[in-house]
Amino acid sequence: MTVDSNKSVSGVTYTKAEVGYFEKRSLKRSAGLWGLWGLGIAAVISGDFSGWNLGLASSGWGGMVIAFVIVVVMYFGMLFSIGEMSAAMPHTGGAYSFARAAMGPWGGFVTGLAETIEYVATTAVIVYFSAGYANGITDALFGFTLPAWLWWVILYLVFIALNTAGAAISFKFAVVVSIISIAILAVFAVIALFSGAWSVDKLFDVAPDAGASAFLPHGILPILLVLPYAMWFFLGIEELPLAAEEAHNPAKDIPRAGIIGMITLVVCGAVVLVLNPGITGSSKLSASGEPLLDGFRAILPTGLAAVLSAFALIGLLASLQGIMFAYGRNMYSLSRAGYYPKFLSLTGKRQTPWVALAIGAIIGFIALVIVDATGGAAGGGGAIVLNIAVWGAVLAYILQMASFVILRRRFPNAKRPYVSPTGVWGAVVAGVIALVVFIGFLLNPPFLPAIAAIAVVYVVMLVAFATFGRNRLVLSPEEEYALSGGLHGDPQLEGYDSMEGDVFRPDSDLTPK
């Protein structure tokens, strides 16, 4: 079944792909269950090393614990839901693909762009914190530091090279660094427990407001405001559907890897949340750019702390590799379909989207330079870019959960190899929590620069799509699934652009004529 070339559907026009189009944009199946698990852990594990602690000053330790529990509920509901959708749609589009099938081309574009913002900004945040860790380590061990921008360049170049070396290498690296990162957290936990330095009093050392408790020193409202920081423990685990065309058995392994990975991250996050501020004090830790390094410093001699923190840096680098993988595949899928310039989806001999990886790195580097040049670094540049990443993520979460509910009704006959155990209600609960986080951003003045930045990006990209992109779409696997009403599933089994030539009614009635 195919669609006529130059056929207009829902305000967009499909054009016939040139000869060899998909061959120049091929991916290679390289990952099993544990490769996917490693990718998910690697993408997230840096959240245990930096970022989450920035919310302690606002809510105190008690508020962060409550926020942690709330986002755990959200992520489990979301992972069950995207597990079902990814099993039904085993192609690279991820969030864009889900929303494209549920809400048409414009909904797919808006959702895919939100995920691009999330992953490009998240990569920039990790680069920012990694540079801080690296400078702290080189200063302690060798007595020198480098300008932050130079670390940024080094980190981006090294990890572009790693991600373009081949998917098999990326998955193996992800597994290794994930295991090392978890081991570092385990070492920290053991040392913290037996050092005698941990104290309950240090958890509650944020000075309370008049009439407030030590558990919630600034009241209940800050819990809403620190949800984005609690999300940092898990943000990125939802990237696994982006590996669908590189997984050996995506319908089975992506849902399983997501749940196993989430359980792993809950354990790691709980250990850090309880032990790290109990060593250094919540008040002091709330302003730290390298909280785990500060934890090691508090209980070990300077040299030994620096050596262990060098291993801790691996956790940040693990996430740098994992999230870079995500934005590369996200931009690749949107480009392959024509929403972004098509050259971004070229893969080359190693079958990795090297152009998308390079362009995403350039965008992230420019964002860090702008934040630094405007004084953002001195006032918490990492927090500013972190907020951009989280707000992009939250928007993508809301749209994905809406997509799940719509697809259950709209494509009732679509094949679903995995079914969410929480069903529609799981998606609704996850979506409502994401909406609450979204509202929290609007109520928190420090987050407004991030919202303004995202708004500018959306205006520019929507104008560009309305003017150019919507008239140049290609029948990629994500588009075929949507146009076929969920009947076209696995592109590598059924073929690419196999629907070219057949005519379809508008998206409101997707039955072939």
Q: Which residue type sits at 132? A: G
Using CB atoms within 10 Å of the CB of residue 493, give its burial: 0 to 12 exposed, 13 to 18 middle, 19+ buried. exposed
Lowest mean pLDDT among 152-166, 249-263, 443-457: 443-457
Q: What is the pLDDT of residue 47?
A: 87
In contact, 36 and 194? CB cutoff 8 Å: no
| Residue the block writes with tokens 């940024």 | 152
Q: Which of 459, 452, 499, 456 is nearest to 475 (CA)?
A: 499
User: pTM for the complete prediction?
Assistant: 0.88
* 3-class DSSP string for 58-113: HHHHHHHHHHHHHHHHHHHHHHHHHHHHHHHCCCCCCHHHHHHHHHHHHHHHHHHH
CA quadruple 416, 115, 232, 209: dihedral, nearest 10: -120
Q: Is 196 left (phi over 0), alpha (psi -120 to 50) or beta?
A: left
Instruction: Categorize the per-residue pLDDT at 503 as very low, low, confident or very high, splitting at 50, 70 and 90.
Output: very low
User: Across 261-394, where does the E strand assignment appear?
Assistant: none
* 398-425 per-position pLDDT tens digit: 999 999 999 999 988 888 999 999 999 9
- pLDDT of 206 > 60? The answer is yes
- pLDDT of 508 > 70? The answer is no
Comparing 133 with 228, the larger pLDDT belongs to 228
Question: Looking at residues 445-451, what average pLDDT do you find?
Answer: 76
Lowest mean pLDDT among 89-103, 117-131, 252-266: 117-131
Rounded distance between C-alpha atoms, residue 243 and residue 32, angstroms: 11
Rounded distance between C-alpha atoms, residue 361 and residue 120, angstroms: 7
- 3-class secondary-structure state, position 12: strand
DSSP-assigned states of every residue in 119-167: HHHHHHHHHHHHHHHHHHHHHHHHS----HHHHHHHHHHHHHHHHHS-H
| Residue ranges of domains in the chain, CATH in brackets | 28-456 (1.20.1740.10)
Rounded distance between C-alpha atoms, residue 30 and residue 48, angstroms: 28
Q: How far is CA 399 from CA 101, 112, 135, 250, 406, in A?
A: 12, 10, 39, 22, 10
- pLDDT of 381 > 80? The answer is no
Instruction: Categorize the per-residue pLDDT at 511 as very low, low, confident or very high, splitting at 50, 70 and 90.
Output: very low
460-469 contacts at long range (C-beta below 8 A, 24 or more positions apart): 461/113, 462/109, 462/110, 465/109, 465/339, 469/109, 469/338, 469/339, 469/340
Q: What are phi and psi of 339, to 5 degrees?
A: -70, -40
**How many other CB atoms are found less than 10 A from the CB of residue 157?**
12
Q: What are phi and psi of 488, to 5 degrees?
A: -90, 120
Comparing 310 with 361, the larger pLDDT belongs to 361
Question: Looking at residues 281-306, what average pLDDT do you find?
Answer: 84
- pLDDT of 198 > 80? The answer is yes
The pair of structure tokens assigned to 9 is 């559907």
Rounded distance between C-alpha atoms, residue 150 and residue 138, angstroms: 14
DSSP-assigned states of every residue in 244-280: GGGBSSHHHHHHHHHHHHHHHHHHHHHHHHHHHHHHH
